[in-house]
């Protein structure tokens, strides 16, 4: 699994001019599932995400987790994180899991995070979404369960 984590002041998902999810301070997660991913990948990344110390403490040092700042998460499925752009100009997505598998593991990741006490809002799997955010810092991290 791959997750692009962005520390945000706010983020929201809009579909057909309707807001379907919104958070204030927290993290926007763009989540992709690979063909070979299993529940263990979701477990590893959920633990990593909840424990990430990317929020500033009183001295301005990135030292606090999302739990410590009472932040929320907006999780958005994004299979394009597995794009292969090595040949030509059209990306290939052979590494990405089929939708039936990807939605199960994406939901599992979200549930594992929520089980740790973090409020999780979600985009809509398979939908064309407008994702709007204010990247705070900016802080953007790349997580991969295979590295």
Q: How far is residue 147's CA from residue 134's CA, in Å, rounded to a whole number? A: 28
Q: How far is residue 37's CA from residue 102's CA, in Å, rounded to a whole number? A: 9
Least confident of 56-60, 85-89, 101-105: 85-89
Global pTM? 0.95
pLDDT of residue 147: 75
Q: Is 55 a catalytic residue?
A: no
The domain spanning residue 114 has which CATH number?
Answer: 3.50.80.10
6-103-20-140 Cα dihedral, nearest 10 degrees: 0
Q: Is 122 a catalytic residue?
A: no
Query: Looking at the DSSP assignment, which residues form a beta bridge with residue 1?
Result: none
Domain count across the chain: 1
Q: Which one of 10, 38, 59, 78 is the catalytic residue? A: 78
Is the pLDDT at 57 greater than 90? The verdict is yes
Is the pLDDT at 116 greater than 80? The verdict is yes
Q: pLDDT tier at 144 (50, 70, 90 boundaries)? A: very high
Q: Residue 47: how many CB atoms within 10 A of its CB?
A: 13
Is the pLDDT at 98 greater than 80? The verdict is yes
pLDDT of residue 97: 94
């Amino acid at each position: 699994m791959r997750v692009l984590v962005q520390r945000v002041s706010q983020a929201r998902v809009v579909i057909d001019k309707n807001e379907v999810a919104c958070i204030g301070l927290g993290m926007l997660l763009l989540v992709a599932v690979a063909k070979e991913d299993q529940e263990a990948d979701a477990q590893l990344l959920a633990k990593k995400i909840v424990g990430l110390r990317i929020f500033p403490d009183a001295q301005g040092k990135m030292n606090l987790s999302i739990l410590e700042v009472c932040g929320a998460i907006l999780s958005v499925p994004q299979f394009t994180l597995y794009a292969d752009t090595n040949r030509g100009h059209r990306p290939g997505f052979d590494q990405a899991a089929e939708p039936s598998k990807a939605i199960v593991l994406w939901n599992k990741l979200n549930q594992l995070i929520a089980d740790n006490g973090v409020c999780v809002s979600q985009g809509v799997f398979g939908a064309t979404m407008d994702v709007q955010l204010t990247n705070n810092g900016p802080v953007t991290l790349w997580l991969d369960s295979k590295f």
